[in-house]
Amino acid sequence: MAGSAQLRYCYRSLGTDDYMIAIIDYGMGNLRSVSKAFEAVGHQAIVTRDTASIQNASHVVLPGVGAFGDCMTNLRQYGLIEPIKAAIQSGKPFLGICLGFQLLFTESEEFGCHEGLDIFPGKVRAFSKDQALKVPHMGWNQVNIQRPCPVFENIADGSNWYFVHSFFVDPADTQIAATTTSYGLPFTSSIWKDNVLACQFHPEKSQAVGLQLMKNFGVWK
């Protein structure tokens, strides 16, 4: 795996006042476990739906557990759609986790058709019921790194990560895939483009490899 010197991103030094990770609170998701994981690797993190706090944060995280349509309803209700898009457009590091990954795409077929944030073209699709698969896909599975990414620094290719999901992302541009995973079929388990890293697996539940990713994210700039 290529070293970070070959990438156009670098790492910020860990000061006490120069960074803050904003974890977006839209009334759904395992917010506390994400916050505790960042704290465990020495990063400052706040759980917030305050627009100014999101704007002023050095890093932004969109976690998620629940139904796609309900989540989009909550994001609209709390006025969080524009702050999320502004954070991404600003160039600051942005991390989407599980449903927070899926929401970045155009639409989802979960319980009907629901519009997403449309940051990236693509659709969130259900695992096929024609295959002998247990759905949801829940538990540990292998993640295969497709290209060097700074947030996967010091993480071995083929590591096992924790998943809980019934739907997967089908991006229109397959070149943005950072990792793939197989469950009945190969699917995109994370994407990386510019300042956005988003993953279907749960780093906050993935023990050592997950904590390494969160440590890397907190010093990414």
In the residue annotation, 107 being an active-site residue is answered as no
In the residue annotation, 165 being an active-site residue is answered as no
Q: Give the dihedral of Cα atoms 182, 188, 192, 193; nearest 10 deg.
A: 150
In the residue annotation, 149 being an active-site residue is answered as no
Exactly one of 43, 59, 98, 165 is catalytic; which is it?
98
* Ramachandran category for residue 96: left, alpha or beta (phi over 0 → left; psi -120 to 50 → alpha): beta
Nearest to 67 by CA among 25, 22, 119, 124: 124
Residues annotated as catalytic (active site), given as ranges: 98, 202, 204
